Amino acid sequence: MIFAQKIVILRAKFENSETMKLVFASNNAHKLDEVRKILADVEVLSLREVGFLQEIDETGKTLEENSRLKAETVWQWLLDHTLDTEVDGVFADDTGLEIAALNGAPGVYSARWAGEPSNDANNRAKALHELAGKENRDARFRTVITWIGHQVNVQVEGIVQGKMALEEHGTGGFGYDALFIPEGYADTFATLSAEEKNSISHRARALEALNKMLRQGK
């Protein structure tokens, strides 16, 4: 009942055109840019902007666990510093590339698949190496978002099916974008404009699922 009441309050905020203020549990410039373009009617603050400077150990074994871990850590920090009244909550995402021929790898380890420190070029090179000689190029990107606030704790996901390219193509995007060809397209994410990618991306779909939940009060 408390959860339902909170959702009603937040839905009213949307309907009255009041700006929601959410902390995104990330300092990743690429992610922040993508999220802010998708959530254009929400004020999205980075961890740095609220003063959260510590590293979060992503020890979860699944995307769901890591997403929740990050959101819970930042929300508790906001509570400890009495900053929770300044925002409508925290949301965190964890995204993984799941390649069918590799039994879903790299999955939760996508960002650091080639080792620490995380390096996009090395991760893409490892993907091509692991897929060498494999006919099945099916893959999917999956994003899990956890949103936590006062009496609110929800989790949604967004998925984009596609295939892995035989070689890198395109200069846009980040991560594995230059290798991933989304279903219905002839070329990789990295060849799409930011606007086009944001309209179909896994993160966009997860964010839209969250938006829909808030607006419908479900």
183: containing domain: 2-216
Q: What is the pLDDT of residue 90?
A: 95
Domain tally, the chain:
1
| Terminal CA-CA length for the chain | 12
pTM: 0.84
Question: Is-catalytic flag, 94?
Answer: yes
The active-site residue out of 94, 120, 177, 187 is 94
- The yes-or-no verdict on residue 13 having pLDDT over 50 is no
Q: What is the CATH number of the domain that holds 168?
A: 3.90.950.10
Q: What is the pLDDT of residues 85-102, one digit of tens each?
A: 899 899 999 999 999 999
pLDDT confidence bin for 109, thresholds 50/70/90: very high
pLDDT confidence bin for 179, thresholds 50/70/90: very high
pLDDT confidence bin for 39, thresholds 50/70/90: confident
pLDDT confidence bin for 133, thresholds 50/70/90: very high
- The yes-or-no verdict on residue 12 having pLDDT over 50 is no
Q: What is the pLDDT of residue 216?
A: 59
Q: Give one DSSP letter per residue of 130-188, joined into a string.
A: HHTT-S--EEEEEEEEEEEETTEEEEEEEEEEEEE-SS---SSSSTTTTTEEETT-SS-
pLDDT confidence bin for 215, thresholds 50/70/90: low
- The yes-or-no verdict on residue 2 having pLDDT over 70 is no
Q: Give one DSSP letter per residue of 4-29, joined into a string.
A: HHHHHHHHHHHHTTPPEEEEES---H
